[in-house]
Amino acid sequence: MTDGLRVRLRMDRGAFQLDVDLDLPRQGISALFGHSGSGKTTVLRAIAGLERAPGGVVALGGDVWQDDARGVFVPVHKRAIGYVFQEASLFPHLSVRANLEFGRRRVPVHERRFALEPVTALLGIAGLLERRPDGLSGGERQRVAIARALLASPRLLLMDEPLAALDLRRKQEILPYLERMHGELAIPIVYVSHAPDEVARLADHLVLLDAGKAVASGPLTETLARVDLPPSFADDAGVVLDTIVVGHEEDALSRLEFAGGTLLVGRRREAVGTHLRCRIHARDVSLALDCPQGTSIVNRLPAVVTAVAATDTPGHVLVQLRMGQSPLLARITERSRRELDIAPGLRLWVQIKGVALLS
Amino acid sequence: MTLDTADLAAVRLTLELAAVVTLLLLAIGTPIAWWLARTRSRLRHAVGAVVALPLVLPPTVIGFYLLLLLGPNGPVGKLTEALGIGLLPFSFGGLVLASVCYSLPFVVQPLQNAFEAMGTRPLEVAATLRASPWDTFWSVAVPLARPGFLSGAVLGFAHTVGEFGVVLMIGGNIPDKTRVVSVQIYDHVEALEYAQAHWLAGGMLAFSFIVLLALYTLYPQAMKGRRS
């Protein structure tokens, strides 16, 4: 028995088959990422007990919520979970305050982990308490739903694409709150998403689901850098680097340091010492045998090739590299690979055309 | 000339009957409607059809079979006699039972529609917030189905007030015991007392119109759902 969340599920629903066996860490955000129909929501619902996979096992540390071999199935309302649905699903007949109190009131006093005030402050909804749900914006509703789930004192927070129903502005409004929760609360979160940017920004641990199977499960950075994943994931391929702001240049650039070198990006407002997560898309990386001269690209770094794999796009390959401690992926044409004779072990230079800052 | 004592007795009896029947209908109709809205059992079509039968059957058919069931040779009649309750036909109790059967669809259908319309999501949300199924039913399902309860109660009440055939078959025409307004109107018309009949008939007309107007105004959705 592990300390974290153990999920073993098998389901056969004719056209859809689910078969996963996961051990997720006790800390941080684990993202279940996959295309629609991959089974990620079903996994989440089964963890909550909203769905039952016969013969399954769901356990958080020593708390066994489902173990059909031993005849254990704890009903949903007796599991210490919080669940945030894609649509906020606030109770329309209750005020925001009564919605927030709904779960809290039902938790025995000695098991309550949060008071109303800090949670409403954390999610920026303290001013909405006396409002009715139908008078709130989509972003406000979803923040209330998240607060409501937290106030039920969960030992595990399950979030099913909480941002998918929101437009870009609302997403940008909520993401910082999710990051604060991540930083300030010691509750493991399982986060279902099909948006690569959300996953790259929030997750610590990544599970890739494809057609009901977990094709990869591991720490975010390592998992994203894998080249042995199904080709359908290769289009979005890219790595995430954890960096620290180390300086601001005079020509409106900022210098970020990561385990493997430094990157230059457009001037950031963050102070020196701030942690920033950034994402480098495989298609924004090009390779050169010698240190490129006479190029407009400022980020040029030495790297070593560790693997080469095929992609879904005809004529293209995915190259896995290592810059110091950090992995990197590059998507290049098969012709370039042949002409430059790129193979594992080769030392070369990477040029990074774009760095997406995620926070 | 206005209502005489016999008329007033009929009005009082009718309101009493409708009130008792409405309460019983809510108590019986709610679990049936909940089950019909939530179950995937194959029996649901058969149960739904049985509940809806009074909508299409002539009241005399229902009255006839109830009379056989409740009569001295019917299984229910034998049971009530054995229990010392006596026979139900031609008593207030019989009238209540017959009215409950006859008005059941008018309560079950709006409730079933209301329970179906809320979907499973609010119930799932409540479960993830530690509410047991019983708790969820009272704290989430009932408040969300309020329009259904209101229109079910009003329709059940109004329909009981308005019934005639079943009442006549099961209740007969005993003053103060089973003579309700609709029967009293019939008696007046038979006796060519048109002025008396007008007072009662006009009152019923006004009552029914006001009730329906109030429902359509307050809960247009609930009424639309009921008809579809």
Q: In the prediction, which pLDDT does A356 show?
A: 84
3-state secondary structure of B62: helix
Residue range A12-22: average pLDDT?
Answer: 89
- Each residue of A205-245: pLDDT tens digit? 999 999 899 999 999 988 888 888 877 676 678 899 989 99
pLDDT beneath 70, residues of chain B: 1, 221-228
| A83 contacts on B by Cβ (under 8 Å) | 124-125, 128
- Residue closest to B124 by CA, chosen among A85, A131, A306: A85
Percentage of chain A modeled with pLDDT above 90: 60
Taking the C-alpha atoms of residue B125 and residue A92, their distance in angstroms, rounded to an integer, is 12
C-beta atoms of B125 and A85 within 8 A = yes
**What pLDDT score does B223 carry?**
57
CB contact under 8 A, B129 and A87: no
Reported as a single tens digit per residue, the pLDDT across A90-123 is: 999 999 999 999 999 999 999 898 889 999 998 8
For testing the chain B interface, which of A83, A90, A91 should be mutated: the one with the most B CBs within 10 Å?
A: A91
- Please report, for chain B, the start and end positions of each structural domain, with discontinuous segments joined by +: 5-227
CA torsion sign, A144 to A145 to A150 to A152?
A: positive
- According to the model, what pLDDT value does residue B2 have? 72
pLDDT confidence of residue B225: 46
Closest CA to A277 of A248, A303, A239, A251: A239
- B/e letters for A153-173, b = 16+ CB within 10 Å, e = fewer, are bbbbbbbbbbbeebeeebbeb
Are A261 and A241 contacting, i.e. CB atoms less than 8 angstroms apart? Answer: no
- CATH-assigned architecture of domain A236-357: Beta Barrel (2.40)
CA–CA separation, A319 and A324 (whole Å):
16
Tokens of B103: 């008005």
Region A5-224: CATH code: 3.40.50.300
Contact A82 B139 (CB under 8 A): no
Selected residue with higher pLDDT from B3 and A285: A285
Rounded Cα–Cα distance for residues B81 and B91 (Å)? 14
A2 pLDDT higher than 70: no
- CATH T-level assignment (fold) for domain B5-227: MetI-like fold (1.10.3720)
pLDDT band at A197 (very low <50, low <70, confident <90, very high): confident
Which pLDDT score is estimated for B227?
A: 41
Q: In the 3-class helix/strand/coil scheme, how is B83-144 assigned residue by residue? A: CCCCCCCCCHHHHHHHHHHHHHHHHHHHHHHHHHHHCCHHHHHHHHCCCCHHHHHHHHHHHH
Question: Is B111 within 8 Å of B33 (Cβ atoms)?
Answer: yes
Side-chain-facing half-sphere of A181: CA atoms under 13 Å = 27
Q: Is the Cβ pair A77, B130 closer than 8 Å?
A: yes
pLDDT band at A185 (very low <50, low <70, confident <90, very high): confident
Mean pLDDT score of chain A: 90
Q: Where are the alpha helices (DSSP H) in A152-194?
A: 168-184
Closest CA to B171 of B66, B35, B58, B82: B66
Domain coordinates in residue numbering, chain A: 5-224, 236-357
Contact residues, chain B, for A74 at CB < 8 Å: none
What is the spatial distance between Cα B220 and Cα B228, in angstroms, rounded to a whole number? Answer: 13
CB spacing of B124 vs A148 below 8 angstroms: no
Q: Which residue in A260, A235, A240, A241 sits closest to A318, CA to CA?
A: A235
A1 confidence band (pLDDT: 50, 70, 90): very low
Interval A140-183: pLDDT, tens: 999 999 999 999 999 999 999 998 888 888 888 888 888 888 87
**Which of A194, A234, A185 has its CA nearest to residue A32?**
A194
Fill in the amino acid letter for A42.
Answer: T
Tokens of A13: 């629903």
Strands A29-34 and A189-193, sheet pairing? parallel
Q: Do A89 and B125 touch (CB under 8 A)?
A: yes
Give the tens place of pLDDT for each residue, A290-327.
988 888 999 999 999 999 988 878 899 999 999 988 99
Would you state the pLDDT for residue A136? 93
Contact criterion met (CB < 8 Å) for A149 and B143: no
CA pair distance A343, A320, nearest whole angstrom: 10
What's the pLDDT score for residue B222?
55
pLDDT over 70, % of chain A: 98
Listed by number, the residues of chain A in 56-95 with a beta carbon closer than 8 Å to a beta carbon of chain B are 75-78, 81-83, 85, 87, 89, 91-93
Cα distance from B146 to chain A (closest Cα, Å)?
Answer: 10
